[in-house]
Structure 1
Amino acid sequence: MEHADLIVIGAGQSGLATAALAPRHGYARLLILEAAEQPGGAWPRYYDSLTLFSPARYSSLPGMRFPGDGDRYPTRDEVVHYLRAYASRLTAAVHTSTTVSSVTRQGDAWSVRAGDGREFAARAVIAATGDYGTPYLPDVPGRAEFTGRMLHAADYRSPSAFAGQRVVVVGGGNSAIQIAAELGAVADTTLASRRPIGWTPQRPLGRDLHWWLKHTRLDVAPIRRLLLKVPVSVLDDGHYRTALQEHGVDRREMITRLAPDGVVWADGTKEAVDAVVLATGYRLTFPYLTGSGVLDADGRPLHRGGVATTVPGLGFVGMEFQRSFSSKTLRGVGRDATHVLKGLRG
């Protein structure tokens, strides 16, 4: 069994930021356990054309500036390269290809077991796996009979495989818009969403929105309850809205069911389609924490600002709106990690 002061589960942006800050809070021996073959979290699995909605200057983890022009919007591959470079600078031991199967309390410490049987122990554990490992697949009536191609945005990579097809993209958030905009250039594409698309200017009054968030302090304000009530809105400088219009991508009310060869729209119209892309988000799950005493009956973590309230020495980093608007972002995970590390120290 390998021992440490702190075990961080996940080597994405949240886990790496936590490991970088941990020595400042008395954790000398650190372990990061990552299921993938390399650090980087979910970023390597995102679709090819993904770009950040935050400029490079607002996309850095603690202690390492995101390289290049601070006003540009980095691509997926740039983020992956940055995260792996960041991981290489850490003093923590990073165990990749290590899927955590259970975390249990053993006396005054935590025992962490990997799927291959290896065991690790530490006085504190921080779960930093986020929610991008569990795509949400809505139970659309008729789904089992649909003979076309259905996939979640997590499995979408590029539009080339859909050229000349009829495609419906389900969702109204940033990913749905980005995917629909590029599909529209090669395929007959429609957006299906429960509400009309809401648009938020990316550069109000000539400044990027993240500049305003920083200088108004909304970026760090503990307004979680308020933010959970804010409708989904797409951040755009006009590029995606224009692309949707130019490519003839229309928006319709949510489909009511799937037919063997297509979809049934809200007005009862049936239409043949080749593919349905579900940009329906993800669900926060911690299967390895089952039985740890930190999850409620629905599997949600019992915490305050990321510090578990029912068991000692257990925390979370990287959950949406965990403490603020920026909790789930490159620019925000460091602040939350500091809060949790302090909280675990008492």
Structure 2
Amino acid sequence: MTQHVDVVVVGGGQAGLAAGYHLRRRGLDFIVLDADPAPSGSWQHMWESLHLFSPAEHSSLPGRLMPAQTGETYPGAGHVVDYLTDYEKRYDLPVQHGTRVDAVRRDGERLLVETDTGTWRVKAVASATGTWSRPFLPALPGRGTFTGRQLHTVDYRRPADFAGQRVIVVGGGNSGAQIAADLTLDGHVDVTWVTERPPRFLADDIDGRALFDVATARRRALDAGRSDSGGVASLGDIVAVPPVRAARDTGLLHAKPMFAQLTATSARWDNGSHTHADAVIWCTGFRPALTHLAPLNLRRARGHIPTDGTRALDEPRLHLLGYGDWTGPASATLIGVGRTARDAVREVTGLLS
């Protein structure tokens, strides 16, 4: 059975909810299709100790400030789950959970959104599937021969799962530093942290508020034809959130250079040294989850779809929300996605009229 609606939003996480908020305000006929059975998108799958980079008041979606978490300057992942769950309910957003979108296709003047529960025929699509469902693992020699556990950031939950084990954490970004710190501070795990280059910590007084401002200033400069300042990347790679700072300042958080290969039981470096490992946690990033858009044949270099703002250049009925700076400055953050969602919905409203 084919159902009809003006707009389908694919994904019910922070980007999808921000789009839903603005679509609701504009009075448009829309549905949000989300593969997860429960609200809050990828936040419900995060590790237990994860905290935001910014205070609650600087981590909000449009229309509703995130309340502070008692006893915490930087809210934890569970607090974000509660906030997003309440947000969806507060604005009575039509989110259909447990529905996986398999494909988006052209159908004359409309787009067909094919799901595992049926098909929707629509005038516009906002894709807000993020990256969490597409973890990236590097093609490293020996990775297929290692007999211990191999996990990605998406699989990590708590230090107790690795008590008494030797664990190698790979990755010099925020996830790698936070998970290495989490395991190290626990005291019951033998941790080796390895990074491609020496870790670059941001100044201790820089958090998500400053990062959002820097990302926004960079985008404005580029749009105005000025030189690229480098944005957030020019400041460093790792936000020194309290656990990372504690592990670093007590001398527990040391990074070794990236190893050359894995064997059945260890990691080996070019100089012949090796470290035994029971598990390797790959904190090596993600790729955009865009396979549902493959029938539109829009991807170009690096797997990205060329956009003007959030609008796909080769398919003006499609907008992309929350995938990173290429879909808006800081658009992969709670505070940043609201602005790009507002602009996207404004364009969609113009298209429909």
Contact 1:136-1:280 within 8 A present in 2 as well = yes
Contact 1:10-1:41 within 8 A present in 2 as well = yes
Secondary structure of the residue aligned to 1:312 is: strand
Contact 1:46-1:154 within 8 A present in 2 as well = yes
The offset of 1:342, in angstroms, is 2.3
Residue 154 of structure 2 corresponds to residue 150 of structure 1: no
Q: More helix by proportion, 1 or 2?
A: 2
One-letter amino acid of the counterpart of residue 89, structure 2: S
User: What is residue 87 of structure 1 aligned with on the other side?
Assistant: 88
User: What is residue 7 of structure 1 aligned with on the other side?
Assistant: 8
Contact 1:223-1:325 within 8 A present in 2 as well = no
TM-score, normalised to structure 1's length? 0.91
The offset of 1:23, in angstroms, is 3.5
User: What is residue 199 of structure 2 aligned with on the other side?
Assistant: 197
User: What is residue 306 of structure 2 aligned with on the other side?
Assistant: 302
Alignment of 1:66-145 (within 5 A): 66-68=66-68, 72-116=73-117, 118-145=118-145
Gaps of 5+ in 1: none
TM-score, normalised to structure 2's length? 0.89
Q: Distance in 1 between matches of 2:66 and 2:242?
A: 25
Q: Distance in 2 between matches of 1:75 and 1:11?
A: 20
Contact 2:211-2:232 within 8 A present in 1 as well = no
Q: Please list the CA deviations of residues 169-223 of structure 1 after superposition, one character each: whole Å capped at 9, or x if unmatched.
A: 000111111111121122111111111111112425xxx5615854996387465
Change (3 A) 1:30 1:90: farther
Secondary structure of the residue aligned to 1:271 is: strand
Equivalent pairs counted in the alignment come to: 341
Secondary structure of the residue aligned to 1:290 is: helix
Change (3 A) 1:245 1:203: closer
Greater mean alpha carbon deviation, residues 69-78 or residues 97-106: 69-78
The offset of 1:235, in angstroms, is 0.9
Change (3 A) 1:44 1:212: closer
Secondary structure of the residue aligned to 2:5 is: strand
User: What is residue 183 of structure 2 aligned with on the other side?
Assistant: 183
Secondary structure of the residue aligned to 1:199 is: coil
Residue 268 of structure 2 corresponds to residue 267 of structure 1: no
Q: Please list the CA deviations of residues 30-75 of structure 1 after superposition, one character each: whole Å capped at 9, or x if unmatched.
A: 1000001012111111111100001101111011110126982110
Change (3 A) 1:213 1:140: closer
Q: Distance in 1 between matches of 2:293 and 2:243?
A: 42
Change (3 A) 1:76 1:186: same
Secondary structure of the residue aligned to 2:41 is: coil
Q: Distance in 1 between matches of 2:149 and 2:307?
A: 39
Contact 2:55-2:68 within 8 A present in 1 as well = no
Aligned with residue 322 of structure 1, among 297, 304, 326: 326
Q: Distance in 2 between matches of 1:194 and 1:216?
A: 24
One-letter amino acid of the counterpart of residue 203, structure 1: D
One-letter amino acid of the counterpart of residue 311, structure 2: V
Q: Distance in 2 between matches of 1:82 and 1:203?
A: 26
The offset of 1:270, in angstroms, is 2.2
User: What is residue 53 of structure 1 aligned with on the other side?
Assistant: 53
Greater mean alpha carbon deviation, residues 290-299 or residues 84-93: 290-299
Q: Distance in 1 between matches of 2:4 and 2:208?
A: 44
Contact 1:20-1:90 within 8 A present in 2 as well = yes
The offset of 1:302, in angstroms, is 2.1
One-letter amino acid of the counterpart of residue 201, structure 2: W
Gaps of 5+ in 2: none
Change (3 A) 1:294 1:92: farther
Q: Distance in 2 between matches of 1:47 and 1:209?
A: 19
Aligned with residue 279 of structure 1, among 261, 278, 283: 283
Identity %: 34
Residue 290 of structure 2 corresponds to residue 290 of structure 1: no
